[in-house]
Amino acid sequence: MAARVVILAAGSGTRMRSALPKVLHPLAGRPLIDWVLDASGGVGSAAPVVVVGPGATVLRSHLAGRAELAEQALPQGTGDALRAARALVGEADPVVVLYGDAPLLRAASVRSLVERFAAGGADAVLLTGRPSDPSGYGRVVRDPDGGFRTIVEERDLPGGRDGPEAPGGGPEPVEVNAGAYAFAAAPLWAALERLSPANAQGEAYLTDVPARLTRVATVELADPEEMLGVNDRVQLARAAAVIRRRVLVRLMRGGVTVDDPASTWADAGVEVGADTVLRPGTVLAGRTRIGRACVVGPFAQLEDTEVGDGCRIGTAHLAGCRVADGVEIGPFNRVRPGSRLEAASRLGTFTEVVRSRIGPGSAVPHLSYLGDATLGRDVNVGAGTITTNWDGLGKHATVIGDGARIGSDTILVAPVAVGAGAYTGAGSVITEDVPAGALGLARARQRNLLGWVARRLARRREPSGDNGEAPARAAGEGPSGDESA
């Protein structure tokens, strides 16, 4: 008979104090439950059964197509939750039970339960571990000959959770229940019917089942970190740190240099090519992919962004954009969704780009804003250039042809086009298209008022009324004053 996985996720998750179901809290960018689904992937061929509470609409739609859903009407304990799965589990044997809040469990550990079960001689195989801090876990109690006797929940220990150490505990770290099991189906379903809620929480505990079975085997986790259950946000942060470290280890083994793993974050789905260096403080989120031989950071944040090979990205924030090979960005940039930076293009200090294409070899070296702009190849954009893409009602496009030179402090009032090879004069407000090869100049002609400064000072020194003018007026006179003054 085939094995079937059941994942329990109908608890109330009270200790999280959250409107979001506990198993949907993200770890390295993926909901907790997805990590558990991954760990269960190698068992059986049917989709796992996930037990959820009533309502739980977000969780249900998250799981749609990946699991069969059973409903536990009230959160009356882990044993009660497993009962709710019985109809969907059908004839499957063994029944492999995992908790939806234990995201660090590895697939190999789940497989080891099934392998031990298949070796025969056990009605139940339990996963156990000896963590440095056993708080919160059910204690495994053994007979003097070392055989399994029972599991005692922490709250049911003599004296409760503040009582003395676990029965059987000593100087050695105590053995606790990791919360993963392989059960022979028939005795499991029979034992579940006989569970009593006579315990500190008034619940039907799944942990009372093994003591009711005759042949119980255990598999001990070599790495007790794997069993970490997320009950509150402190444990959520601990689990997230472990997952982040695993992701970085995967990247480093793949040839990525991570200067400072402690300050570098990468989500689960992130891919980085060999010989790329991640400088400290770099955060790679979502479906970010970075090619080979890039240098990223320090303090770069990339979200859902694709980067080619040989790029240098300094302190910058990039989201939802595509960066081709050999591009240089930074420092201090924001590249927003819908942007494409083509090969060997360059964005310098304090440049923001949104929904724009920067053509191959083009440069925007300083202090610019490009929104809804399409730049051809080898365009140079002078410092302080702004596309005014928003007219208060809608967004408009700016198109700049190959080889154009945009003078510093040009304002391009969209919709507008600058033709191939054209120039704009520095400080121009370009409201009309500039034909290819032309110079677009749109600024007032400069006038120099010769001797103006000396005249102004002289007027200041004259006593009030002598020239029929109030001194205040003279002081206020500026370059816009009377040209013949």
Q: Which sequence positions are flagged as catalytic? A: 366
Rule CB under 6 A: is residue 31 a binding residue for ligand UD1?
no
Q: Does 76 bind ligand UD1 (CB under 6 A)?
A: yes
| Residue 342 binds to ligand UD1 (criterion: CB under 6 A) | no
**Residue 229 interacts with ligand UD1 (CB under 6 A)?**
yes
Q: Which of 34, 153, 226, 328 is in the footprint of ligand UD1 by CB under 6 A?
A: 153
- Pick from 129, 94, 146, 93: nearest CA to 221: 129
Min dist CB 46 to Ca ion, Å, is 25
Q: For residues 69 and 63, is the Cβ–Cβ distance under 8 A?
A: yes
The footprint of Ca ion on this chain (CB under 5 A) covers a number of residues equal to 3
Residues 348 and 331: beta-carbon distance below 8 Å:
no
Is residue 101 close enough to count as binding Ca ion by CB under 5 A?
A: yes
Nearer to ligand UD1, 9 or 122 (CB): 9
- Partner whose binding site includes residue 8, from Ca ion, ligand UD1, none (CB under 5 to 8 Å by kind): ligand UD1
Task: From 68-76, 213-221, 291-299, 364-372, give the range in contact with ligand UD1 by CB under 6 A.
Answer: 68-76
Q: Which two tokens stand for residue 185?
A: 């189906």
SS3 387: strand
**Secondary structure element (H or E) that encloses residue 371, with its range:** strand 368-371
The closest alpha carbon to 318, from 306, 309, 327, belongs to 306
Question: How far, in Å, CA of 418 to CA of 420, rounded?
Answer: 7
Work out whether 29 is an interface residue with ligand UD1 (CB under 6 A). Answer: no
Q: Single out the residue of 37, 102, 283, 375 in contact with ligand UD1 (rule: CB under 6 A).
A: 102
- CA 157 → CA 81, 166, 180, 253, 349, distances in Å? 23, 7, 21, 44, 62
Taking the least distance from each CB to Ca ion, the nearer of 231 and 408 is 231
Question: Which listed residue (34, 101, 123, 156) binds ligand UD1 by CB under 6 A?
Answer: 101
Q: How far is the CB of 37 from ligand UD1 (least distance, A)?
A: 13
Q: Residue 1: which of 92, 119, 87, 88 has the closest Cα?
A: 92
**257 binding partner (options Ca ion, ligand UD1, none; Cβ < 5 to 8 Å by kind):** none
224 binds ligand UD1 (CB under 6 A): no
Rounded to 10°, the helix 107-118/32-40 angle is 40
The Cα 288–Cα 335 span in angstroms is 14
Query: Cis omega (within 30 of 0) on the bond before 103?
Result: no
Considering only 18, 150, 199, 231, the residue that binds Ca ion (CB under 5 A) is: 231
Binding site for ligand UD1 (CB under 6 A): 8-11, 51, 72, 75-78, 80-81, 99-102, 137-138, 151, 153, 176-177, 179, 205-207, 229, 231
Residue numbers of the site for Ca ion (CB under 5 A)?
Answer: 101, 229, 231
